[in-house]
Structure 1
């Protein structure tokens, strides 16, 4: 991976979509969307924004009670920088043995890469969210934290 100052810089650098397209359709259940990004002040710095929707997706119901799994991730080449796993049934074990249950966020460190996670509801990296079921709201907070241009738009389908 990188030393911590490199990781912090890669997360904080302003990123734009690498190409003319700036609006994308959210992935359907079982699909993945990857958007190529670059740093406009350093065009050789390339990133990838990934949004993966698990095959178990929500449906339109009177009360949303889903077994969904959605992943939002920003990578520098193959190195994950930040990842959010939206899965109420997820269980993640940190390198120190701590169990994290439910939705969580991974932020790369020089020592462990992206192996450590924190509960999304307890972290202070991304502003407090009204709901962990609102994927578009979580995406916008994630996009802002990753310093990705606000002209990037994802058209979310019903149920996402």
Structure 2
């Protein structure tokens, strides 16, 4: 994906043989090692670090969204229905990887997402 002056990548990482994991990330070319957004769908609950921000020292259940912070990087997680996270997914939507991808692309402000074909490959999950 490309904006007017920056290049961005969206990663989908589905790994784990014994325990399935699934994560979506938005990264920028100049700072690839630091995701701007990370949506954890199937991972462990996330303990937020101590600090002076909402949800400090709280354990955030999965699924959750990490949003880059100048002081904390991507170490802060937010529940999907949090007003800051804005990733409203129903239980039914969380069962469909293609729906999750579309919602994540919307959250990343990707243009023309209706122009893409989304196909589910059942043998991967």
Indicate which of 4, 8, 26 corresponds to 1:74. 26
Q: Partner of 1:123 in structure 2?
A: 82
Q: Spell out the pairing of 1:2-81 with structure 2 (5 A cutoff).
A: 37-39=1-3, 42=4, 44-56=5-17, 67-77=19-29, 78=32, 79-81=34-36
Q: Report the structure number with the largest CA radius of gyration.
A: 1
Q: How far apart are residue 152 of structure 1 and its match?
A: 3.6
Scaled by the length of structure 1, the TM-score of the pair is 0.60
Q: Partner of 2:54 in structure 1?
A: none
Q: How many residues align?
A: 110
Specify the SS of the correspondent of 1:45: coil
Maintained 8 Å contact 1:129/1:137: no
Partners of 1:100 and 1:126 lie apart in 2 by 14
Structure 1 gaps of 5+ residues are: 1-36, 58-66
Q: Deviations over 1:3-45 (max 9, x none)?
A: xxxxxxxxxxxxxxxxxxxxxxxxxxxxxxxxxx211xx2x30
Q: Which has the higher contact order (CA 8 A, sep 6+)?
A: 1
Specify the SS of the correspondent of 1:138: helix
Scaled by the length of structure 2, the TM-score of the pair is 0.74
Q: Spell out the pairing of 1:141-160 with structure 2 (5 A cutoff).
A: 141-149=103-111, 150=113, 151-158=115-122, 160=125
Higher percent of residues as helix: 2
